């Protein structure tokens, strides 16, 4: 019986160590869940982010108003300039023509605008 009694305190200490570790893990998990809940309750940030994403997607995807106006001018572009943009910028011929028309047929200006965009 004496041996069992001595082994029991050692087990109790181990159990307390695991209990402390579990409670520390539980505290970490609880704080992580609380931060997720707090982020879920803040709806205004989500709406602002959605609006920002929508604006960014619109600016990336569709045609720009300036490009549409430039096409309406019916600017004649040189085929050598189109070939230059196709070879150097690796864009399709239609896109190269569109860039040149948007920049009044100026190949250097079109390339600078494409690099900056």
Q: What number of other Cβ atoms are within 10 A of residue 83's Cβ?
A: 13
Task: Give whole-number Cα distances, 15 to 11, 48, 94, in Å.
Answer: 6, 49, 73
Q: Which residue, 114, 61, 63, 116, is CA-closest to 89?
A: 114
Contact (Cβ atoms closer than 8 angstroms) between residue 77 and residue 105: yes
pLDDT in tens, 56-74: 777 776 555 555 554 456 8
Give the domain ranges of the chain.
1-62, 63-117
Contact (Cβ atoms closer than 8 angstroms) between residue 100 and residue 82: yes
Matching residue, tokens 């931060």? 35
pLDDT in tens, 72-104: 568 888 999 999 999 999 999 999 999 999 999
């Amino acid at each position: 019986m004496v041996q069992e009694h001595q082994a029991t305190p050692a087990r109790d200490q181990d159990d307390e160590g695991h209990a402390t570790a579990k409670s520390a893990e539980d505290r970490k998990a609880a704080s992580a869940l609380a931060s997720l809940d707090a982020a879920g309750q803040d709806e205004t940030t989500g709406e602002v982010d959605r609006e920002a994403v929508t604006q960014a997607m619109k600016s990336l995807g569709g045609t720009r108003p300036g490009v549409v106006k430039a096409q309406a001018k019916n600017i004649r572009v040189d085929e050598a300039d189109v070939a230059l943009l196709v070879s150097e910028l690796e864009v399709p011929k239609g896109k190269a023509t569109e860039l040149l028309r948007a920049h009044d047929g100026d190949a250097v200006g079109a390339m600078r605008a494409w690099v900056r965009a």
